[in-house]
Amino acid sequence: MGNGNNWDDLRYLLAVARHGSLSAAARVLGVNHSTVLRRVTALEQAMGARLFDKLPGGYVLTAAGDEMHRVAQKMEEDLAAANRLLSGRDTRIGGSLRVTTVDILTLYILPRHIAAFRRLHPELRVDLVAAEASLSLTRREADVAIRATSRPPENLVGRAVSGLAFAVYGASSYLERAGDAGDLDRHPWVGLDESFEHTSLAQWMKRTVPAASIGYRVNSVAGAVEAVRAGIGLGLLPCGVVDRDPAFRRIGDPVLEADTKLWLLTHQDLRHMGRVRAFLDFMADALTRDRDLLEGRHA
């Protein structure tokens, strides 16, 4: 292990340990199966110990492999930290910026703001990743997160720029046909599936809407918006997305128990990076100007 390829060999160990097979590790690393086997074997020979047991379920670390794995993880974390610190000193407003957010913001709120941002910074490419689950900013899967949450992750820095209100809506065409919007129990509903169980939206639905009334469930708020638009039933939807759309009619005031916050977040090592700072400052201004809409005061 005294040569200059130490970290490169350990990358192969980490990939096999994470993914459980040579072929899965090869796909992630962008090499072929035999390369992974060769590098792992070379590492075992250099260490004088077997690092993996090949079991029917895949490759499993031995006791020696487990010790080596801990060393490799620490090296990976140190390299990622160094990379973040070096990136944080980069003041160029160019290159690319990876942003993760949820589907409703990707589809309905952010595009016009990103268009305006890119008019100011045409050299900067924005890569937007719509994901309900947060990508890791620590491992540099993204540079910036725009999240709808009441409790942002403690390892990130940022600020809440607006509330995000939800209210009950039906499609205007559906309500004209079905009538009596005031009696919510007699309507079918669009709900969210188990992946939203932890959210205030799902908890309000559980308390308020009989399970038998939910005729359609979806694992995305944008999917719920489009289902209500299609006339499947009533739904608890974000005011900032549908209040200005004549295809929807709001029933009552925003539901306070479902209210959440819109956060702009980054990793503390990246907060001074030129492109991160420019994007965060621009979006903070843009989304603060949208507050009346996002907080349900537009209807």
Task: Flag whether pLDDT at 116 surpasses 90.
Answer: yes
> Which residues, 6+ apart, have CB-to-CB distance to 168 below 8 Å?
184, 234, 235, 236, 237, 250, 251, 252, 255
Work out the pLDDT band at 107, boundaries 50, 70, 90. very high
Model confidence, pTM: 0.67
Instruction: Report the share of the chain in percent with pLDDT over 70.
Output: 90
The pLDDT assigned to 99 comes to 93
Distance CA 203, CA 218 (A): 15
- Given a cut of 60, whether residue 140 has pLDDT beyond it is no
In this predicted structure, the answer to whether residue 234 has a pLDDT above a threshold of 50 is yes
pLDDT (0 to 100) of residue 95? 84
What tens digit of pLDDT does each residue of 17-33 get? 988 888 888 888 888 88
Q: List the domain boundaries for the chain.
A: 6-88, 95-164+260-294, 166-258
Provide the pLDDT for residue 10.
86
Of residues 235, 224, 105, the one with CA closest to residue 164: 105
- Lowest mean pLDDT segment, chosen from 169-173, 177-181, 211-215: 177-181
Confidence of residue 2 (pLDDT cuts 50, 70, 90): very low
> What pLDDT is recorded for position 133?
57
Where does the pLDDT of residue 294 fall: very low under 50, low under 70, confident under 90, or very high at 90 and above?
very high
Given 3.40.190.10, 3.20.20.70, 3.90.1150.10, 3.40.50.720, which CATH number is that of 95-164+260-294? 3.40.190.10
**Average pLDDT of the residues in 158-185:** 88
Q: Is the dihedral of CA 212, 215, 217, 223 positive or negative?
A: negative
Would you say residue 199 has pLDDT above 70? Answer: yes
For residues 270 and 89, the model is more confident at 270
Q: What is the DSSP string of 205-247?
A: HHHHS-GGGEEEEES-HHHHHHHHHTTS-BEEEEHHHHTT-TT
Residue range 45-57: average pLDDT?
Answer: 88
Calculate the average pLDDT of the chain. Answer: 86
The answer to whether residue 185 scores a pLDDT higher than 90 is no
The rounded distance, in Å, linking the Cα atoms of 15 and 43 is 14
CATH of 166-258, one of 3.40.50.300, 3.40.640.10, 1.20.120.80, 3.40.190.10: 3.40.190.10
Collapse the DSSP code of 132 into the 3-class scheme (helix H, G, I; strand E, B; otherwise coil) and give the result: coil
Is 217 a residue whose pLDDT tops 70?
A: yes
Domains 95-164+260-294 and 166-258 share a fold: yes
The half-sphere exposure of 255 on its side-chain side, counting CA atoms within 13 A, is: 20
Give pLDDT, residue 131: 75
* Whether the predicted pLDDT of 137 surpasses 70: no
Residue 3, pLDDT score:
41
Q: Above pLDDT 90, what percent of the chain?
A: 48
Residue 162 has what pLDDT? 95
At 87 the pLDDT is 53
Domain 6-88, second-level architecture: Orthogonal Bundle (1.10)
Which pLDDT belongs to residue 92? Answer: 54
* Mean pLDDT, range 152-181, rounded to an integer: 89
Q: Tell me: pLDDT of 6 over 80.
A: no
Q: What are phi and psi of 226, to 5 degrees?
A: -70, -30
Residue-level pLDDT at 270: 83
68-90 tens-digit pLDDT: 888 888 888 777 766 666 555 55
Task: Tell me the angle at which helices 33-47 and 63-88 cross, rounded to the nearest 10 degrees.
Answer: 110
